Amino acid sequence: MRGIARRVWRLEARLVPQPNFGSGRAAVILYERRRQRYEREGRPFLEPAPDLTQPAGPVCYLSAAETLRRRRELRLRQLADATPSDQE
């Protein structure tokens, strides 16, 4: 059992996306350039609305088991919604 658990841990560690710290800095640079361009043109610069699809706090990656569990629950919910109910 320990061997299987160790293999799963290794797979999870290998499949977790590595953070790309450069992309955050590039986003800040693009944001500042856009803001300055709008100011030069005399147009109002509106702050973009927060992206509600992205987590606000630190990212917590799910384990493989949790991912499979959530996917199964979603699939069962979709099947329950798709089947016509005979209770009417």
Report pLDDT digits (tens) over 73-87: 999 999 888 876 655
Residue 55 inside a domain? The answer is no
Q: Each residue of 11-59: pLDDT tens digit?
A: 888 877 776 666 678 888 888 899 999 999 999 888 877 666 666 666 6
Q: What single-letter DSSP state applies at residue 16?
A: S
Query: Range of 31's domain?
Result: 2-48+62-82
| Model confidence band, residue 66 (pLDDT cutoffs 50, 70, 90) | confident
Ramachandran assignment for 42, one of left (phi > 0), alpha (psi -120 to 50 degrees), beta (any other): left
Q: Would 11 be classed as within a structural domain?
A: yes
- d(C-alpha 43, C-alpha 35), whole Å: 10
Report how many domains make up the chain.
1
Residue 24: what pLDDT?
Answer: 72
> Is 75 a member of any domain?
yes
| 35 and 45 Cβ atoms separated by less than 8 Å | yes
Residue 73 in any domain: the answer is yes
56 falls within a domain: no
Long-range pairs, 81-85, Cβ under 8 A, ≥24 = none
Residue 53 lies in a domain: no
Q: Does residue 10 sit within a domain?
A: yes
